[in-house]
Amino acid sequence: MVRCAVMTFWLLAHRRIHLPKRCVGLRLHFADGSASKVYRETVVDRTATTDPAVLLVGFRLRAVRGQLAHALFRFESLFNTPLFVGFPGFVSKLWVAHDSNDIYRGAYEWDGATLAEDYVRTLWRVLALVCVPGSIHYEIVPGLTRGELLRDPATLDTRALAQTREALRLTAAEQPPA
C-alpha cells in the first residue's frame, strides 16, 4: 500500500492520471438482471499493455442507504483513487454506480492477471471494513481488455470461469441516448 501511495503521488505530479468522460453514462447490464451506469472512469498514461486482464469487482456497502447517501459515496469515492491507481499493472477502472440490489461494481483493466490478483487481495482487507460481510466478489479474466469486454460482453461466456457470479457477468453495454 505504501508503494502504491508513493506511485500515486508520482503519477499525479506528472499528470498521468486522467478522468475521461467517454464511458461515463454507459449503462451496463448483468446476468442477474440488474443494470447500472458508469459514473466515473480513471485511466493512467502508461506503456502499451502486454498481458491484459479484466478484473470485475462487486460489493455492497454496509451503511450506505438512500439517494443522498449513495450520492455522497460516489463523490467520496474519488478520494479512494490512491488505493489502486499506483498499483503495478493498473491500466483503467470504470466506477459503476449501485444497482437495484445496492451492489457497486468496478470494471478494471490490468497489465497482468497476477498483478490484478495481488491488488484485489491487498484491497480486500480495506474494503471488508465498510462492506456487508460476504458481499465482496471478484472475477479476473486473463487475456481480455476492457474495450473488448465492452464491445462484446458475450466473450465472458467463453473466457471467464464457469462459476462467475451472475452479478459480475456483464451481458450488455449500451451508450446513453444522445
The position carrying cell 490478483 is 117
Phi first, then psi: give them for residue 83, nearest 5 degrees. Answer: -75, -10
Strand 35-44 with 90-96, pairing: antiparallel
- In Å, how far are 42, 74, 81, 106, 142 from 39, measured between CA atoms? 10, 8, 14, 10, 25
* pTM, full prediction: 0.89
Q: Binning pLDDT at 50, 70 and 90, where does residue 10 land?
A: confident
- Residue 49 corresponds to which cell in the numbers above? 499493455
pLDDT at residue 178 in the model: 60
Contact residues for 65 (Cβ-Cβ < 8 A; gap 6+): 102
pLDDT at residue 85 in the model: 80
Average pLDDT over residues 86-109: 90
- Burial code (b: 16+ CB inside 10 Å, e: under 16) for 157-174 equals eeebeeebbebbbbbebe
Report the alpha-carbon distance of residue 13 to residue 140 in Å, rounded. Answer: 30
What is the average pLDDT score of the chain? 85
